[in-house]
Amino acid sequence: MSVEELLRAHDLRVTRPRLAVLAVVNEHPHADTHAILDRVREQLPEVSHQAVYDVLAALSGAGVLRRIQPQGSVARYEARVGDNHHHVVCRACGAVADVDCAVGEAPCLSASDTRGYAIEEAEVIYWGLCPDCLAASGEISPPGENPAPGEDPGRSDPETSTLPPPNPRKDARV
């Protein structure tokens, strides 16, 4: 399905800002609003800060994007929706990576008491140190894990890497 068809399937108008935001989020999963704005402005210099916020809200509200906000972090966005996957966050640099559900299908976990709710989703965030921060700290690999022969233990998988670590000054504005 094309991006235009995806927007129309969610009853959203196809606009240049929406297309630009989707392109950026697809290219940079887990990017924060400011990083998205900076990259959208590379394509559409005239786009306003508010327009990007509005697009992110509309796309998240329609289920086209997923908004995640690990404790102590700014909101981040990803295009991987509907599969109830989880995240791992580096305590040192703030990098975020996807982690597939460990057990079964959504919601992946069973509540001990649903209190009458129909549980649809479980959100799990694992916290630790990413491979780059582990290497910088002098540890070779995460506890209980050994790198595969020939694997560089200090390098991140490009598919799980994110944009540069959050800028605390920028993050304070969100």
pLDDT at position 148: 41
Query: What are the tokens at 83?
Result: 């599969």
Task: Convert the pLDDT of each residue in 139-158 to its tens digit.
Answer: 765 555 544 433 333 333 33
Model pTM? Answer: 0.72
Q: Measure the CA–CA gap between 173 and 116, rounded to whole angstroms.
A: 38
| 22 C-beta neighbours (distance < 10 Å), count | 21
66's tokens: 């997923």
Is it the case that residue 169 has pLDDT exceeding 60?
Answer: no
Q: What is the pLDDT of residue 73?
A: 87
Fold of 3-68: Arc Repressor Mutant, subunit A (1.10.10)
Instruction: Kindly report, residue by residue over 49-68, the tens digit of the pLDDT.
Output: 999 999 999 999 999 999 99
Show me where the domains of the chain are located.
Answer: 3-68
- Report phi then psi at 132, rounded to 5: -65, -45
Task: Tell me the mean pLDDT in the region 99-119.
Answer: 77
